[in-house]
Structure 1
Amino acid sequence: MASNPEVKPRLIDEQLCVAVYNANKLFNHFYIETLKPYNLTFPQYIALCALWEHDKLTVNEIGSRLNLDSGTLTPLLRRLEQNGWVKRTRSKIDERQVIVRLTPMAKSKRDEVYSQVTDCQSLLGFDDQTYVSSRTAMFDLADRLKSIDPKDLAAENETKD
């Protein structure tokens, strides 16, 4: 393998992608433990959060809010329904649309689940400013990644060949 003297490799501990990957893995474990008493996964939790903000959403609306496709959402919502959290019904106006509503159990458990998650988040020891700046940095990173045109990545790789 020939090396290019103009390329200075970043050490693994200096790479943003590694930091994000490791934080994501730890957050996933954090939420697995936090949500275990409710038999919820993190994707199920965020779907419930969307519904706790706006009960009665279509599958497409939930997918848009969470950036999840219907292939991911359908089994997730099916499990939430089987466990008594939501009720899915076909729209009477457009039968292609599935409307998702919270069950009375989901409504009654909302504050308990939020409290559990909030209590666990306090373990991070973030003050309000650090919490907001961290969240803002992640949204900024996501926006920057979304703005990259895949054609630009392909063009960048072609110029290196």
Structure 2
Amino acid sequence: MTNAEDAGSPLLDDQLCFALYTAQRAVTAAYRPLLDELGLTYPQYLVLLVLWERGETTVKELTGALHLDYGTVSPLLKRLEGAGLVRRERAVDDERSVRVACTGRAEELRERAAAVPGALLAATELDGAEAARLRGELWRLAERAGTAAARSR
């Protein structure tokens, strides 16, 4: 079968969604030992990446950056706060808005976490160019799938 024919195949291994699902699970599993050393889960790591990049931010901005809903992010923040890594407080100018910031403990963790991306590339035997190409393709796919999903609503 050609690649064009694979697109319409009903076979499990020919499904794009299954390949993405399997890759996502494998990549997350490859992250696990790296993040275990930091005492973080993968979703907690993603929250901290946003906070390290942007600094103090609102929960709304955090959910947007992570493409997650409030019901998913809120428990993550609660666990990170319990671990002493973030602090949450109501915004002074808008009581409906909750601001989130890293604590000193999270900032200390940042330096150790800086080694994670390189360690993952080494573990998966991807070079920087391969990773960049793959990331670009995945972002394009996410955008196209998002557009398709919005059209079907």
Q: Same fold (TM over 0.5)?
A: yes
Q: Which runs of 4+ in 1 moved over 6 A?
A: none
Structure with bigger RCO (C-alpha 8 Å, 6+ apart): 2
Q: Where do residues 14-93 of structure 1 align in structure 2 (5 Å cutoff)?
A: 14-93=14-93
Q: Which digits, 9 at most, give the CA deviation of each residue in 1:6-65, with x for residues without a partner?
A: xx6343222211111110111121222221122211111111000001111000010111
Question: Which residue is equivalent to 2:99?
Answer: 99
State the distance in 2 between where 1:129 and 1:28 align: 21
TM-score between both structures, scaled by the size of structure 1: 0.83
- Extract unaligned runs of 5+ from structure 1: 1-7, 154-161
Question: Which residue is equivalent to 1:157?
Answer: none
State the distance in 2 between where 1:104 and 1:150 align: 40
Q: Is the 8 A contact 1:34 1:117 kept in 2?
A: no
State the distance in 2 between where 1:43 and 1:147 align: 25
Q: Is the 8 A contact 2:44 2:80 kept in 1?
A: yes
Identity of aligned residues (%): 34
State the distance in 1 between where 2:84 and 2:118 align: 23
- Opposite residue 61 of structure 1, the aligned amino acid is E
Q: Where do residues 102-121 of structure 1 align in structure 2 (5 Å cutoff)?
A: 102-121=102-121
Sort the Cα spacing of 1:116 and 1:12 in 2 relative to 1 into closer, same or farther, 3 A: same
State the distance in 1 between where 2:36 and 2:11 align: 36
SS class of match (1:38): coil
Sort the Cα spacing of 1:33 and 1:57 in 2 relative to 1 into closer, same or farther, 3 A: same
SS class of match (2:124): coil
- Opposite residue 49 of structure 1, the aligned amino acid is L
Q: Is the 8 A contact 2:30 2:123 kept in 1?
A: no
Q: Is the 8 A contact 2:38 2:112 kept in 1?
A: no
- Extract unaligned runs of 5+ from structure 2: 1-7
- Shift of residue 91 of structure 1? 0.7
Q: Which digits, 9 at most, give the CA deviation of each residue in 1:103-158, with x for residues without a partner?
A: 011111102012134223222222222111100111011111101146648xxxxx
Aligned length: 146
Please tell me the root mean square deviation across aligned C-alpha atoms, in Å: 1.7
- Opposite residue 12 of structure 2, the aligned amino acid is I
TM-score between both structures, scaled by the size of structure 2: 0.87
